Structure 1
Amino acid sequence: MKEKILFITNLLPYPLDNGGKIKTFNTIESLSEKFDIDVICYISDEEDRRNIAGLRGIANDVQVVCKNLIRSVSFKDFFIDYMKSLMTKYPYNVNKFRHPDFERLILNKLSNNKYYAIYVDHLQMMVYYDLFNHENTILDQHNVESLIFKRLIQSENSVVKKALGAIEYKKLRKFEIGMLHKAGQVICLSEEDQKEFMQLGINKDKINILPIHLKSSYCKNNKSLSGEKFKLLFLGSMSWYPNQNGIKWFLENVWVSLDKRYYELYIVGSNPPETIKQYHNGKNVHVTGYVEDINEYIEKCDISIVPLFIGSGQRVKIIESFAKGIPVISTSIGAEGLIYTNGEDIIIADTIEDFINRLEDVRSNRGQLDALTFNAHENFKSNYSAEFLPAKLQKIIENCRG
């Protein structure tokens, strides 16, 4: 009989339509090889209940609470929620994950089961730590949350937003440090993240570097032809601000300087704001919104662009591109935490001029694209294949139990 793990995460990790969900789903699937997994999470609306079936076969039980966490219905609702969070010890982005029904689900599971470990997926869900206060708690940090917020404040021009952001950052940093200390083991994605946690005073011995691991069931077949337009792909949910910020920078600074006779741009991802939608013209700029199958766009495009300037952790979209055979051009921050060699398995560009020049280079030398694609796929097989994940997670759990 398998031991049981209680897995607490923010959103139901299905369908697999963003990087966070993909990482979480693969983690649950890998854990299920050795353990029975009980999952508690949120869904954004009642229609999402049908997606619980996506975890059938890998989770023993899935319990959900319906709450819209992605964005407030209106600014008024957001402002009310934000003011409420100011009255608590929790930062806004943590406080919004508190819900009495979620608390009841956790308490019910704890009273009726004996768990080998508690797996907390995302820092925000540690808001419930006092309920289980479990020495065998694993905290899976998808990002260094306080670092993301610090970079966000630094990129903000509004004095008011900077002031409010400073309050939020102080509370978030305090919460993050406290929860990192309380967790028995911490998982992060890269050496960079590990160093950030150590600078926050966390013992290196409890920090496990575990890169994102993916399955590779699809690989791009279509090869670009020199006579066709060079097709660029930006992939990512617009609910995540760094994606909005990055593609807006690209459109305003790089895209305007490219010769449109030779280029076409696909912006693929859910919830694009009007500031991005306005660029859609159906000719050389396509803003798709949510799509069922991103492979359709990977197949038709020549290169994936990752112009990110905010964030931490690891970009699933880059590892996914490595796996699926589409070359990548990214900023240093976009590729932060990844194992790569610039110019061999990825192209790094941090300025407007770099992006323009590197795109022109590969557009005129399609053979370079083939070399990038091959090297990136070899990188994926060596470092990010999901076949290695179960054993690595098992070791972390055993370390947690001492």
Structure 2
Amino acid sequence: MATIKILQLSHGKIIPDYISAYAMRVNHLLDGNSWKICSVGGLILHDEKENNVEEYRSLMSTAYSVLKGNRSLEIAISKGILLRKKYINSVKALISEADAIIFEGPWEYSLFEKSLENKFVVYDAHNVESLLRKGNKYHDYTEEIEGKLVQRSNLLISVSENDLKYFKEKFNPGNAILLTHLLKNIEYQWNGENSTDIIFIGSIYGPNIEAAEFILSLAKTMPDFQFHIIGNVNTHGFPHKPGNVKFHGLVQDAEKDNLFRNSCIALNPIFTGGGRNVKMIDYIMHGLPVISTEIGIRGLSQYDLSGAVVVEKSENFREAILKLTGNRDKLKSMSDNTLKLKEKILATESSFNAYSIISGEYEKWKSGH
């Protein structure tokens, strides 16, 4: 099979690749086989090129979206509001060279729709974006542009079975498959059996901000525990942080692994969102006992989580923490069960190879085109 040039179009900060779950998905989707990744807007403060990634600042559109509110950054990008010609022209030039274009969300599609003639188009659906905007003024617009991309795509890939089912029922895509996040089998040693440290990880994203606020409130009632929050969710600013909460910000993998390893429990108090909750996979890969809300386990419905994950309503998190930490044998058993769950997930998903799948679908499309 010949090597094909695949261009990924995304938004927001992609360098470094661990800045968010979205960035990790974009960077690792093709496992090193991406030709180019091009991103715009959000926290990008200056144009930057690193390896195969190009980032373009759009400070005006980002400022516009802050003033408008209602999660309007992506909307501004999709309408080309205050985007620089340098970015637009660069992407058009890359599209002309590429064999296949992956849209990492529906936002860039309308900008470059007219440049996609005779191009193989993939929609990598991290979520159902319109469902995330229920009650938002841009819901109908989001549903419209997402629907157009789904129907134009030669291949739709979804990270969760529930999202895939929704896309099939709502938009009837011609070619749609489940392709979860790329997983690697790395051995971790959990040492949190006697710890009082509790961990949460999250990027600067609405549901994570809400979760962090919840954890701050919870921590105030649990002074005997130390709560650690990893990720750039800290940039939101939390002025009333109690003394037993530490924000670590963005950390390298080694530091993150050490914090995970020495925590007794991971929390996932997520109340909204779509797709698969990537932090759950991270927790499971590290063998951490987890307490999560029901929506926090989305994208894992095909697995039996009993014995590894405690699913509770938010008002019961405090009681669940005390119950688990009051029975350390139970906590150790949960970690053992989490590692068994990890093996089941790896056995099912580690063989997924996005590049091979996309290349194969591209060759079939090309031969009949």
Q: Which position in structure 2 is the counterpart of 1:64? A: 55
Q: Which position in structure 2 is the counterpart of 1:132? A: 116
**Structure 2 residue 202 is matched with structure 1 residue 236:** yes
Taking the aligned partners of 1:188 and 1:399, their CA distance within structure 2 comes to: 20
CA shift digits 1:58-85 (9 cap, x unpaired): x4xx44322349x945xx7733698xx8
> Counterparts of 1:151-300 in structure 2 under 5 Å?
153=135, 165=136, 167-203=137-173, 205-217=174-186, 219-225=188-194, 228-229=195-196, 231-237=197-203, 239-252=204-217, 254-257=218-221, 259-261=222-224, 263-272=225-234, 276-281=238-243, 284-292=244-252, 293-300=255-262
Q: Which position in structure 2 is the counterpart of 1:358? A: 320
SS at match of 2:234: coil
TM-score by length of 1: 0.77
SS at match of 2:171: coil
Q: Which position in structure 1 is the counterpart of 2:7? A: 6
Q: Which position in structure 2 is the counterpart of 1:158? A: none
SS at match of 1:294: helix
**Structure 2 residue 346 is matched with structure 1 residue 381:** yes
State whether residues 362 and 368 of structure 1, in contact with CA within 8 Å, keep that contact through their aligned partners in structure 2.
no
TM-score by length of 2: 0.84
State whether residues 280 and 287 of structure 1, in contact with CA within 8 Å, keep that contact through their aligned partners in structure 2.
no
State whether residues 344 and 375 of structure 1, in contact with CA within 8 Å, keep that contact through their aligned partners in structure 2.
no
SS at match of 2:296: coil
What's the RMSD between the two structures over aligned residues?
A: 3.1
Taking the aligned partners of 2:285 and 2:158, their CA distance within structure 1 comes to: 21
State whether residues 158 and 179 of structure 2, in contact with CA within 8 Å, keep that contact through their aligned partners in structure 1.
yes
State whether residues 233 and 249 of structure 2, in contact with CA within 8 Å, keep that contact through their aligned partners in structure 1.
yes
Instruction: Report the number of matched residues.
Output: 355
Taking the aligned partners of 1:400 and 1:142, their CA distance within structure 2 comes to: 24
* Distance change >3 Å, CA 48–CA 381, structure 1 → 2: farther
SS at match of 2:247: strand
**Structure 2 residue 23 is matched with structure 1 residue 40:** no
* Distance change >3 Å, CA 143–CA 394, structure 1 → 2: same
SS at match of 2:108: helix
State whether residues 319 and 380 of structure 1, in contact with CA within 8 Å, keep that contact through their aligned partners in structure 2.
no
SS at match of 1:383: helix
* Distance change >3 Å, CA 396–CA 295, structure 1 → 2: farther
* Distance change >3 Å, CA 369–CA 48, structure 1 → 2: farther
User: Partner letter of residue 22 of structure 2?
Assistant: G
Taking the aligned partners of 1:269 and 1:379, their CA distance within structure 2 comes to: 27
Taking the aligned partners of 2:59 and 2:187, their CA distance within structure 1 comes to: 32
State whether residues 137 and 400 of structure 1, in contact with CA within 8 Å, keep that contact through their aligned partners in structure 2.
no
State whether residues 10 and 41 of structure 1, in contact with CA within 8 Å, keep that contact through their aligned partners in structure 2.
yes
Taking the aligned partners of 1:393 and 1:346, their CA distance within structure 2 comes to: 34
* Distance change >3 Å, CA 366–CA 133, structure 1 → 2: same
State whether residues 199 and 259 of structure 2, in contact with CA within 8 Å, keep that contact through their aligned partners in structure 1.
yes
In structure 1, runs of 5+ residues without a counterpart are 154-164
* Identical aligned residues as a percent: 19
* Distance change >3 Å, CA 41–CA 312, structure 1 → 2: same
**Structure 2 residue 74 is matched with structure 1 residue 109:** no
In structure 2, which of residues 44, 67, 73 is the aligned counterpart of residue 79 of structure 1? 67
State whether residues 269 and 293 of structure 2, in contact with CA within 8 Å, keep that contact through their aligned partners in structure 1.
yes
**Structure 2 residue 274 is matched with structure 1 residue 303:** no
